[in-house]
């Protein structure tokens, strides 16, 4: 996957998840304040299912692209396409994380917090593999990937904290912004290392390129913060307007349609 | 900005903020004890506005000084004045942090803690850019800047903890002292690397200079601690004396003048 | 112990402890929910005693194997078998940790949390000695041991957090999975560095071997997570089925048989 | 102070503090359980005063030993005795920490936790100066000092946690054991680098010496843990025996003698 598409695909994946979270968590937060956060369980399950699905697609893509390993790991004294295997492993952890997320909401016997722990592990694992991934490459290539690690390990820390400080909106928004950052940065890596549309190659050893890339990373995070902030305020405005114009209807309808579902779901209780 | 002024300016900025905080937080703490901390909201907003303003002035200065980039980033195959662009980026993050601070107090829909998170991010960003800033320079130059990172990353950690342990006076005083340290250290860097008043240049490769600078950094922190302690006790004495001499008047006047303002402000509520 | 057995033995030790924990903690968690967690004290004491015993066996084995130091440390100007002494030291810390665990449950004057602190110290100590253990070895040997440190220091952090967040099922399961990981990874090290059954030696300097080993470590952790999850759900199913078929009997019997014991034990109280 | 005495003196200082803490904290803990912990304030103040005194003696010794700098810092183009100045700086921070400790208990306006923060800063400062202290020395010298940093930074972390989790007996005992470790390790450094009694010098470049020293550090911590545990149980036994034999008398007498003092002291209240 060492080409433009190979970076655009995971980038889009993280970007979509990040954008979705930048809508979901504000929504949940405002409903929580009004004591109506229960019907987010179905949402969470659907989200986790989609994340799992995407991850499995990622695994299959890495394995069965024409120059992929096709599930062969070792033959004739050498390892086959370890790069693809490593990427598959990353996706596999995110798939497991998705499954655990679903289980946490479907089964009351799974302790709350396990979903966050496994998500933190999946994120750490991504960073761990990337860290040992980029030896023996040109400086800019190494550097631009190592910047990704800031986003990844920052995310790991933040998600791990959510094991203990669950449903903290600030930590959730932090995670959201770091996920968007990862998404846009993957795209940036693609543009820098494999310039599409016949753009000229970057000089991989030029110090001022590295200096620009450092700053560019900060700008990406700034953009990620802004996107998170804009979506947060859009959700806030929307809900306020709905409320003002007697628009609680939507909420009520959601509640109603969820009612039967919730009863089945909450046979047990989600006490912590 | 690689001259004396370029270090004195940010130094003064941090110093002023630090000194102000060393007065504000003790004041707030003593009023909190007497259940009268609400009217600090207006103060916080004014402070944040001033911080934002200073940051914007910083950005403009970096961009439009005679040898600045004048908002040109790339031309004729090379990056233009990346140093100035990096400094602008640092100021930009502090501006954003100021804006978010204002919003947190102006708008009850912004969750408490987001202001601290963004401040931590802005501080981390400063450290992050500095870290990748000083390659290929003489040892003393590198070293004296890397000491700054202790103050910066220590501050990042402390501010991040405030996301969870908000309004903890100890963390606030710690942050204050680290901010003062940053301020005085910027001045120290200026004096060492660009000696003003025709003082002789320091030998950049002398080991004993580096050894002295290490110790000097500790002394700066000691001074920062003392300044914080002195201001704390001054505030404490002042308030005690006012109280003793029937001087609650000031507090009451502040409360009154704020009353109408607060009502408008607190249409919602700042529950956490 | 630089042979296959020398890695298989500690590996089995950690594996057994990990597997046992993956049963114990879910059991305790489900009983806790039903307010019946007291009779786990006896279990904890037995477990700690066994851990202590195993550690002492480890010490004795390291000291009195034919080519061991036989409790001689220094003679004729050189240190004797420092490798074995270092391993003995590791076991010794785990023995101390076991003793403290026993004391915590036997004696109400030992503050809760000390057992976790000493366990964290023992784990840190293992990592500390390993870290300074593998200098001057071939790259793959160094690398495969350094991966172990991820599990060890991750465990240290997690156990240290338990000092403050005691009886948090998520942290306990995390610790469990990291212990299983250590166990299986010791076996992996044995297989890679000292291939048994006449298998060919690995090329210690081949980069792709290192790349595979990195990924392999992730797979081991995946396996450890799955084992933990499977055992957790088995315990969950078992308890649910027992409950459904009037099978509270077992629990009640355990309670009864423990009743007298508990009374003696809980002369004091385990308030925190 | 690069001689045996120069390491024996700080070693004794830390050892005495550590041993005292290993008695004080258990005492306080057991009295706390019986709601009688108030009269420890006088003890704390005396302890802090003694710590301050010792630190000042340390500063004076470093400055006015025959080959000391005698408060001259710079003359004729070179720095004077920076080593002694660095040591003075370390002692100065501990003196400040002692003063703040006293103030915390004497003055109710000083927020609780500031004493711990400043103690953490003093400890960090010690490690910070040591870290930049040992460049350009033989490997064993560097290594044996760097091991000290484990104790120092471990202590920093632990003390910083006490800002938030104050009066946690486990953290206090951890700090105690690390302080004892520092004490005994200073002595060990003295014995290794400046063998007294005409013992032969250690080979500073021998790898097996370094290997032994690593393990020796673990043994020191083991000893520190044992000392802490023994003192803890002695205090526990003593108090239990006193209680059994109607010996509450001592406690009561202490209470009485402290009563008047406390009233003066607690004009305010030590609410947190």
Average pLDDT, chain D: 84
CA-based nearest residue to A225, from B39, B121, C137: B121
CA-based nearest residue to B120, from A177, D44, D29: A177
Residue C272 domain-assigned (yes or no):
no
Would you call A108 an interface residue with chain C, using a CB distance cutoff of 8 Å?
no
Residue A271 domain-assigned (yes or no):
no
Residue A85 domain-assigned (yes or no):
yes
Residue B89 and residue A236: Cβ atoms within 8 Å?
no
C-alpha angle D155/D157/D160, rounded to 5°?
A: 105
Residue A189 domain-assigned (yes or no):
yes
Mean predicted confidence (pLDDT) in A67-77: 81
DSSP C21-84: HHHHHHHHHHHHHTT--TTHHHHHHHHHHHHHHHHHHHHHHHHHSTTS-TT--EETTEE--HHH
CA distance A120 to chain C (A): 11
Write out chain B residues lying below 8 Å of A240, CB-based.
109
Q: Looking at residue A199, what DSSP letter applies?
A: P
Searching chain C, which residue's CA lies closest to the CA of residue D232? C110
Would you call C186 an interface residue with chain A, using a CB distance cutoff of 8 Å?
no
Share of chain A above pLDDT 90, in %: 46
Among A214, A217, A240, which would you mutate to test the B interface (most chain B Cβ atoms within 10 Å of its Cβ)? Answer: A214
- pLDDT score for C220: 95
Please report which confidence band the pLDDT of residue A97 belongs to, taking 50, 70 and 90 as the band edges. Answer: very high
**Helix pair angle (D139-164, D114-131), 10° resolution:** 170
- Could you tell me where the beta strands, DSSP code E, fall in chain D? 74-75, 78-79
Bigger pLDDT: A201 vs C35: A201
Write out chain B residues lying below 8 Å of A222, CB-based.
92-93, 96
Write out chain B residues lying below 8 Å of A208, CB-based.
78-79, 82
Name the residue facing A164 among C165, C219, C222 (closest C-beta): C165
- pLDDT score for B240: 85
Q: Where is average pLDDT lowest: A96-100, B90-94, D32-36?
A: D32-36
Backbone angles phi, psi at B23, to 5 degrees: -100, -40
In order along its 272 residues, chain B shows pLDDT tens digits of 678 888 888 899 899 999 999 999 998 888 876 655 567 788 889 999 999 999 999 899 888 888 888 888 888 778 888 888 999 999 999 999 999 999 988 888 888 899 999 999 999 999 999 888 777 788 888 889 989 999 999 999 999 999 999 889 999 999 999 999 999 999 999 999 888 887 778 887 788 888 899 999 999 999 999 999 999 999 999 988 888 776 444 444 444 444 444 444 444 444 33
CA-based nearest residue to D174, from D156, D155, D161: D155
Q: Across the strands, what pairs with C75?
A: C78
Q: If residue B62 lies in a helix (H) or strand (E), which one and from where to where?
A: helix B40-64
Write out chain B residues lying below 8 Å of D121, CB-based.
221, 225
- For residues A259-268, b (16+ Cβ closer than 10 Å) or e, as one string? eeeeeebeee
Residue C111 and residue D29: Cβ atoms within 8 Å?
yes
Q: Quick check: B235 and D110 in contact, CB under 8 A?
A: no
Write out chain A residues lying below 8 Å of B109, CB-based.
30, 233, 236, 240
Write out chain B residues lying below 8 Å of D109, CB-based.
30, 233, 236, 240
CA dihedral of residues A7, A96, A158, C158 (deg, nearest 10): -130
Average pLDDT, chain C: 84
Distance CA B226, CA D201 (A): 44
Residue D221 and residue C121: Cβ atoms within 8 Å?
yes
Name the residue facing C208 among A82, A89, A100 (closest C-beta): A82
CA distance D50 to chain B (A): 21
Share of chain A above pLDDT 70, in %: 88
Q: Do chains D and A touch (3 or more CB pairs under 8 A)?
A: no
Would you call C236 an interface residue with chain A, using a CB distance cutoff of 8 Å?
yes
| pLDDT tens sequence across A227-247 | 999 999 999 999 888 887 764
Q: Do chains B and A touch (3 or more CB pairs under 8 A)?
A: yes
| pLDDT tens sequence across A123-175 | 999 999 988 877 778 888 888 998 999 999 999 999 999 999 988 999 999 99
Residue B121 and residue A210: Cβ atoms within 8 Å?
no
Among B69, B93, B132, which would you mutate to test the A interface (most chain A Cβ atoms within 10 Å of its Cβ)? Answer: B132
Q: Quick check: A87 and A1 in contact, CB under 8 A?
A: yes
Would you call A221 an interface residue with chain B, using a CB distance cutoff of 8 Å?
yes
- pLDDT score for A223: 95
Residue A272 domain-assigned (yes or no):
no
- The pLDDT of residue A272 is above 60: no
Name the residue facing D211 among C82, C111, C163 (closest C-beta): C82
Searching chain C, which residue's CA lies closest to the CA of residue D25? C111
| pLDDT tens sequence across C126-158 | 999 988 877 778 888 888 998 999 999 999 999
Task: Please give the radius of gyration of chain A, using alpha carbons only, rounded to the nearest integer.
Answer: 21
C-alpha angle D207/D211/D217, rounded to 5°?
A: 140
Q: Quick check: B240 and B33 in contact, CB under 8 A?
A: no
Question: Considering only residues 112 to 171 of chain C, which have any Cβ-Cβ distance to chain D shorter than 8 Å?
Answer: 113-114, 116-118, 121, 125, 128-129, 132, 135-136, 163-164
CA distance D79 to chain B (A): 7
DSSP D144-183: HHHHHHHHHHHHHHHHHHHHHSTT-HHHHHHHHHHHHHHH
Q: Quick check: B74 and B234 in contact, CB under 8 A?
A: no
CA distance B157 to chain D (A): 12
Would you call C211 an interface residue with chain A, using a CB distance cutoff of 8 Å?
yes
Would you call A64 an interface residue with chain B, using a CB distance cutoff of 8 Å?
no
| pLDDT tens sequence across C33-60 | 665 556 778 888 999 999 999 999 989 9
Distance CA A69, CA A13 (A): 23
Among C92, C121, C135, C136, which would you mutate to test the D interface (most chain D Cβ atoms within 10 Å of its Cβ)? Answer: C121
At B253, list the tokens.
């006047």
Total domains in the fold of chain A = 1
Bigger pLDDT: A114 vs B37: A114
Q: Three-state SS for C267?
A: coil
| pLDDT tens sequence across C215-265 | 999 999 999 999 999 999 999 999 888 887 764 444 444 444 444 444 444
Residue D272 domain-assigned (yes or no):
no
- pLDDT score for B133: 77
Average pLDDT, chain A: 84
ipTM computed for the complex: 0.85
Range of the domain at B202: 4-266
Please report which confidence band the pLDDT of residue A38 belongs to, taking 50, 70 and 90 as the band edges. Answer: low
| CB neighbour class for A145 (10 Å; exposed up to 12, middle 13-18, buried from 19) | middle
Residue A132 and residue C211: Cβ atoms within 8 Å?
yes
Tell me how long chain D is: 272
């Amino acid at each position: 996957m060492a080409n433009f598409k190979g970076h655009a695909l995971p980038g889009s994946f993280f970007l979509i998840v990040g954008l979705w979270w930048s809508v979901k968590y504000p929504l949940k937060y405002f409903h929580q304040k009004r004591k109506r956060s229960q019907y987010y369980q179905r949402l969470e399950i659907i989200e986790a299912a989609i994340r799992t699905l995407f991850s499995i697609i990622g695994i299959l893509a890495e394995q069965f692209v024409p120059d992929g390993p096709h599930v062969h790991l070792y033959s004739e004294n050498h390892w086959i396409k370890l790069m693809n295997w490593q990427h598959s492993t990353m996706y596999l952890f995110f798939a497991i994380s998705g499954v655990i997320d679903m289980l946490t909401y479907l089964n009351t016997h799974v302790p709350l917090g396990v979903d966050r722990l496994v998500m933190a592990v999946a994120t750490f694992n991504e960073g761990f593999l990337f860290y040992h991934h980029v030896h023996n490459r040109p400086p800019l290539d190494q550097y631009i990937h190592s910047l990704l690690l800031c986003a990844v390990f920052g995310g790991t820390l933040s998600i791990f904290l959510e094991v203990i400080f669950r449903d903290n909106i600030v930590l959730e928004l932090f995670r959201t912004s770091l996920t968007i950052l990862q998404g846009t940065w993957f795209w940036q890596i693609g543009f820098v290392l494999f310039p599409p549309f016949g753009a000229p190659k970057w000089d991989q050893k030029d110090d001022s390129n590295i200096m620009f890339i450092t700053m560019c990373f900060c700008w990406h995070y700034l953009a990620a913060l802004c996107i998170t902030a804009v979506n947060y305020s859009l959700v806030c405005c929307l809900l306020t307007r709905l409320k003002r114009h007697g628009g609680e209807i939507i909420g009520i309808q959601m509640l109603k349609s969820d009612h039967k579902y919730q009863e089945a779901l909450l046979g047990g209780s989600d006490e912590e």
